[in-house]
């Protein structure tokens, strides 16, 4: 249920996260995602699930010629227009599974922490492949399969509340998983590592980088951050469309 971003309580809780208040500098994975981006000057970029538009704004500030940011949440798009408006950014209210994906149009497709809401991942990979120009780059972060197969995405704790371990179950069963995120029941989609990486290869992409995010050392003093070193929460991928592939 991705419409959760339009739920008032959820939206207010999301607004309190450091990534919402500080932008990219408040995002624990930005130090690993940024180096995966190609040079942004003069490029045409598509951001799938742009949220508040931080990545769109970053691309505009780096000189991108045109940026399209799409998101299925009316409130997120309103927030993006408010906080990260720029003459070269066009924000559109649109589900990424309904988007028209014009052929051979973009130099870069970016998607940050959105694809774990999408069931048909390989369908989206094919669409992204079609919409990229030759040599175009696809960079995305997605919740890591160890995280999405976590039971309710909660640590197992002892009677004093100390973390014991992260439970993984039904790893080889992709599909919807109910989680509790920001105090609400949120359905996310579990994909195995094989599905994610083979899905890209089968769509015609060549893999250029695969990373498992660890918090920025500068953020380790923040509450709960050292626990993020106990299991991977996000997978970061850079893939390229090369001429001659399907
Ligand atoms: C965790 S937020 C990430 C926002 C932004 N990409 C960032 O990194 O700051 C997830 C976003 O994905 C959007 N989203 C989820 N499913 C979507 C879909 N099927 N189509 C478009 N946007 C979607 C949500 O509305 C929300 O804005």
Q: Nearest residue CA, atom 14 of ligand 1? A: 49
Tokens representing residue 19 in the block? 């990534």
Q: Nearest residue CA, atom 26 of ligand 1? A: 51
Residue 22 CA to ligand 1 center (angstroms) comes to 17
Instruction: For residue 9, name the pLDDT band (cuts at 50, 70, 90).
Output: confident
Give pLDDT, residue 244.
64
pLDDT digits 0-9 by tens, 122-180? 999 999 999 999 999 999 999 999 999 999 899 999 999 999 999 999 999 999 999 98
Q: What whole-number percentage of the chain has pLDDT above 90?
A: 81
Residue 117 CA to ligand 1 center (angstroms) comes to 8
More confident residue, 62 or 26: 62
Nearest to 4 by CA among 179, 244, 224: 179
Give pLDDT, residue 202.
97
Instruction: For residue 216, name the pLDDT band (cuts at 50, 70, 90).
Output: confident
pLDDT digits 0-9 by tens, 174-207? 999 999 888 888 999 999 999 999 999 999 999 9
Give pLDDT, residue 2.
55
More confident residue, 203 or 8: 203
Q: Which atom of ligand 1 is nearest to the CA of 96?
A: 20
Residue 7 CA to ligand 1 center (angstroms) comes to 14
Q: Nearest residue CA, atom 8 of ligand 1? A: 112
Answer yes or no: is pLDDT of 1 > 50. Answer: no
pLDDT digits 0-9 by tens, 70-93? 999 999 999 999 999 999 999 999
Residue 161 CA to ligand 1 center (angstroms) comes to 31
Nearest to 181 by CA among 4, 3, 46: 4
Residues with CB under 6 A from ligand 1: 2, 5, 19, 49-52, 54, 71-73, 76, 95-97, 112-114, 117-118
More confident residue, 20 or 104: 104
* pLDDT, the chain, mean: 94
CA distances 16 to 4, 219, 220, 221, 222, Å, are 16, 17, 19, 18, 14
Q: What whole-number percentage of the chain has pLDDT above 70?
A: 98
Give me the mean pLDDT over the 40-68 stretch.
98
């Amino acid at each position: 249920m991705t419409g959760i971003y339009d739920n008032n309580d959820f939206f207010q809780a999301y607004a309190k996260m450091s990534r919402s208040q500080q932008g990219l500098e408040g995002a624990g994975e930005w130090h690993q995602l940024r180096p995966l981006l190609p040079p942004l000057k003069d490029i045409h970029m598509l951001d799938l699930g742009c949220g508040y538009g931080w990545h769109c704004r970053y691309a505009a500030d780096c000189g991108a010629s045109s940026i399209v940011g799409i998101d299925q949440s009316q409130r997120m798009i309103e927030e993006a227009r408010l906080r990260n408006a720029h003459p070269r950014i066009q924000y559109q209210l649109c589900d990424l599974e309904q988007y028209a994906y014009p052929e051979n149009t973009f130099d870069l497709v970016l998607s940050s922490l959105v694809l774990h809401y999408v069931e048909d991942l390989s369908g989206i990979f094919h669409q992204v492949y079609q919409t990229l120009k030759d040599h175009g780059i696809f960079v995305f972060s997605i919740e890591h399969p160890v995280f999405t197969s976590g039971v309710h995405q909660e640590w197992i704790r002892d009677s004093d509340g100390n973390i014991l371990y992260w439970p993984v179950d039904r790893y080889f069963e992709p599909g919807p998983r109910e989680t509790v995120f920001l105090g609400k029941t949120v359905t996310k989609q579990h994909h195995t590592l094989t599905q994610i990486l083979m899905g890209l290869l089968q769509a015609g992409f060549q893999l250029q980088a695969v990373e498992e995010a660890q918090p920025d050392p500068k953020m380790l003093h923040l509450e709960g951050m050292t626990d993020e070193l106990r299991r991977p929460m996000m997978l970061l991928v850079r893939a390229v469309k090369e001429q001659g592939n399907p």
